[in-house]
Structure 1
Amino acid sequence: MENPEKSFREATAPIAPRIRDLLRALPPQIQTSVSEIRLRAGRPICLWGKGITWFLNHEGVTLRQEQGLCASMEDLQESFREMCSYSIYSHQEQIRTGFLTLQGGHRVGVCGTAVYREGKQTGIRDVSSLNIRIARAVPGCAGALLKRPEILEGGLLLAGPPASGKTTLLRDIAMYLSGGQNSAIHKVTVIDERGEICGVNNGIPAWNSLNCDVLDGFQKVDGILLAVRSMSPEYLICDELGGLGEAQALVQSVNAGAAVIASIHAGSLSELLHRPQTKALLQSGAFQRIALLSRGAPGHIQQLLRAGDLLAQVDRGSFSSFSRSHSGISGVEETA
């Protein structure tokens, strides 16, 4: 079982000491509730979790912004250097895309001033904001989905807005399939491009119950093709599909007999349907079902759709028949 306080300590380890010490002095109930820590130069240090925004100060936390302790530019610079293990150059590719991944799979969003060369964004300088997103396993959060194992057969695409628990849900599904929790131990390969699903450090995943083959840091197209060629997976799991080229790689996974479980950013069903890559993903044949997530506790499925029906609606440009939202005790009901 994961220790939530350990995750908090792990995520706060690279933060400048004067801030880190205050964070670690917070009551356990606050530490385990926080999912994001935002450091902004010259602004109050902000903690977010369970729909509540707190501000850090010397007495603990407050709901009043004007009473919060402000982070200095020196705090940000010190934290940023530590997050890069004092080798900013070796992290340039991650920084360019706006994030860093810490040990344990914790992700840091990076804001600052863009650097362009020959019209192409090559980096970020003058870092002014850091958002530490604390990665935690939530054992059993995929329970509603896994009550119906056939939902995973033929592939499942999880669609949801930021902070809807997509990565947490993928992690729990990976644990379930690879750990024999349904009486069968499946061959699972995780393509963990950003290091958030498995939190690999020196080749070892952060969560002991993950018994998967992990392609850590691989771009999804490369990872999918490598997995199909050499790992003979029954299930392929990956986070944040976005490129049109990924749909072509998924076709090969289907041809190899691997079921794909993946996620995609979409704040609503309408947004999903209007994304240019949605049709390509549905046409790949990698997904029989689409699960639309809502913000809140990880694993709450707002709507479950058949990919074939959804593709037909996309082709016709008519989405009205999918406008209903479904929920319930299990959180999973399938649109007829």
Structure 2
Amino acid sequence: MKKLCDEIINSLSMNLREKIKNISNDNVSIEEIRLRSNKPLIVNANNKDYFYNLNSNKLDLNMDNPYIVSKEDVEQTFQIICKYSIHSFMDDIKKGFITLRGGHRVGLVGKAIVEDGQVKNIKHISSLNIRVSREVIGCSDKILSHIIRGENQVNNTLIISPPQCGKTTLVRDIVRNLSNGNENYGFKGIKVALIDERNEISGSYLGQPQMDIGIRTDIIETCPKDLGITMLLRSMSPNLIVTDEIGNMDEIKALYTALNGGVSLITTVHGDSIEDIKSRKELSCLLDKELFTKVIILSAKRGPGTIEKIYDLEEKRWYFAN
């Protein structure tokens, strides 16, 4: 298992650094580190919640003498993440997350300061969630045959996935493959426009993507998806628009606008099945075969990124489950 990078470890309070450094050597794949003031330290790994056991100095599924995260741990970690200049990170703070070098995202919550219906600041930070970002180069290779359609053409594809099932990792690798091209499919590569609203796909830090998203990819970060789609259509002449986590009608309308402009689409939505999406009124139109032709269902049954099955909305048939 790849150890946690120094960027994550060095972003933690002094009390937490050695503890996290030690457990990063254990045989687990750490996905999240949860710091909640005056609550046990929780590490999500292998899709399970572990506690740091002070007796053994190891991770334990049982809450036996766990390390309790102090208010000082949270405050010090927050200051380090902001490089001791909270004002410099205010634009990120009011969005609820900060991106570390390497593409790792730190979510934060506390007292929201709201003015005119907009969050202007978050004070008295009470919880931090460090999400470990990892690239899995080639993880999308096995589904490219369902995404690529003919010479440099792409099927409009919807990926349905519950949280923590590897959808962001999969989308990132799809973008890389379609942007660079793939010799195995005779695919030369196309112009990809990526709307990375939560800065998870590219993991950009100071404007530079930390992940391999291909040579023909243009990114707009931390921008609402409906606005980002309109901007990129006007300015970057993309062949393909990629977004993550479509969730409302404004975003869906923007997808139709892109479609009417002759642009291909790949996006994701939270859910666990086609039936789940059909049951949600605002999202059910995502299954319009005029909008998407392929639907990929993800799960974590055999680890994050498990391809459950693929549905063709035109042919009305399931292809496979692995």
Is TM > 0.5 for Structure 1 vs Structure 2? Answer: yes
150-159 or 217-226, which deviates more: 150-159
**C-alpha distance after superposition, 1:226-272 (max 9, x if no partner):** 22122122221111111211122112211222211111111444332
Please give the residue correspondences for 1:191-230 in structure 2 after superposition, counting only pairs within 5 Å: 191-208=195-212, 210-211=214-215, 212-230=217-235
Residues of 2 paired with 1:180 and 1:165: CA distance?
A: 22
Residues of 1 paired with 2:24 and 2:89: CA distance?
A: 33
Structure 1 residue 19 corresponds to structure 2 residue 23: no
The letter of the residue matching 2:200 is E
Say whether the 8 Å CA contact 2:146–2:155 is kept in structure 1.
no
Moved over 6 A (4+): 118-121
Structure 1 residue 120 displacement after superposition: 6.9
Residues of 2 paired with 1:119 and 1:150: CA distance?
A: 43
Q: Percent identity?
A: 32
Structure 1 residue 134 displacement after superposition: 0.5
Count of matched residue pairs: 312
Partner of 1:73: 71
Q: 1:303 aligns with which of 301, 304, 309?
A: 309
Structure 1 residue 205 displacement after superposition: 1.2
Please give the residue correspondences for 1:228-267 in structure 2 after superposition, counting only pairs within 5 Å: 228-267=233-272
Partner of 2:36: 40
Cα distance change on mapping 1:149 and 1:268 into 2, 3 Å: closer
Say whether the 8 Å CA contact 2:103–2:211 is kept in structure 1.
no
Structure 1 residue 90 displacement after superposition: 5.4
Say whether the 8 Å CA contact 1:169–1:298 is kept in structure 2.
no
Residues of 2 paired with 1:87 and 1:284: CA distance?
A: 49
Instruction: Tell me how large the CA RMSD over aligned residues is.
Output: 3.0
Residues of 2 paired with 1:160 and 1:266: CA distance?
A: 5
Say whether the 8 Å CA contact 2:242–2:267 is kept in structure 1.
yes
TM-score, normalised by the number of residues in structure 1: 0.81
The letter of the residue matching 1:148 is H
Q: Which runs of 5+ in 2 are unaligned?
A: none
Partner of 1:273: 278
Partner of 1:291: 296
Partner of 1:144: 142
Cα distance change on mapping 1:84 and 1:254 into 2, 3 Å: same
Cα distance change on mapping 1:204 and 1:111 into 2, 3 Å: closer
Partner of 2:132: 134
Cα distance change on mapping 1:283 and 1:97 into 2, 3 Å: farther
Structure 1 residue 161 corresponds to structure 2 residue 162: yes
Q: Comparing both structures, which one devotes a greater share of its residues to helix?
A: 1
